[in-house]
């Protein structure tokens, strides 16, 4: 995936934007959300995939690796046949939850306004 780092000379490697950029890609937040609300302690690759019908296996795989790199999930490999890999949220991910919840609530309060604002400017010719 590469997951390149956001860089500029004013805030070299600005942690805020770098952390957020990697969390706010297409799938990462959804993976965290699904792991969280599953109630289970951990989930397997295919379990996650079933909860996300539209994600490709490749993107699920890469998203999980990135989340692991950043310490939001753990990845436990069982050397069995067929292979088994289990994913679980870390404390770091759980500590993010209250903030994500407040963002979620803000989004719900503003989503209609924002989406209709977007249409105003986008659909000049549509």
Q: Is 29 in the site for a copy of itself (CB under 8 A)?
A: yes
Identified binder of DNA from the candidate list 54, 112, 113, 126, rule CB under 7 A: 54
Least distance (Å) from a copy of itself to the CB of residue 81? 26
Choose between 21 and 44: whose C-beta lies nearer to a copy of itself.
21
List Cβ<8 Å contacts ≥24 apart for 36-40.
Answer: 36/89, 36/93, 36/94, 36/97
CA distance 69 to 49: 20
Identified binder of DNA from the candidate list 18, 23, 42, 45, rule CB under 7 A: 45
Identified binder of DNA from the candidate list 14, 29, 85, 100, rule CB under 7 A: 85
Q: Is 102 in the site for a copy of itself (CB under 8 A)?
A: yes
Q: How far is CA 2 from the centre of its chain?
A: 16
CA distance 113 to 20: 23
DSSP 125: -
Identified binder of DNA from the candidate list 57, 102, 105, 107, rule CB under 7 A: 57
């Amino acid at each position: 995936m590469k997951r390149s780092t956001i860089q500029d000379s004013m805030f070299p490697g600005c942690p805020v934007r770098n952390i957020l950029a990697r969390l706010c890609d297409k799938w990462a937040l959804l993976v965290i959300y699904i792991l969280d609300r599953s109630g289970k302690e951990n989930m397997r690759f295919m379990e996650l995939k079933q909860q996300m019908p539209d994600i490709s296996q490749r993107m699920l795989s890469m998203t999980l690796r990135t989340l692991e790199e950043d310490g939001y999930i753990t990845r436990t490999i069982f050397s069995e046949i067929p292979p088994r890999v289990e994913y679980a949220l870390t404390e770091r991910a759980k500590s993010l939850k209250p903030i994500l919840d407040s963002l979620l609530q803000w989004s719900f309060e503003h989503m209609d306004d924002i989406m209709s604002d977007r249409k105003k400017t986008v659909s000049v010719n549509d």
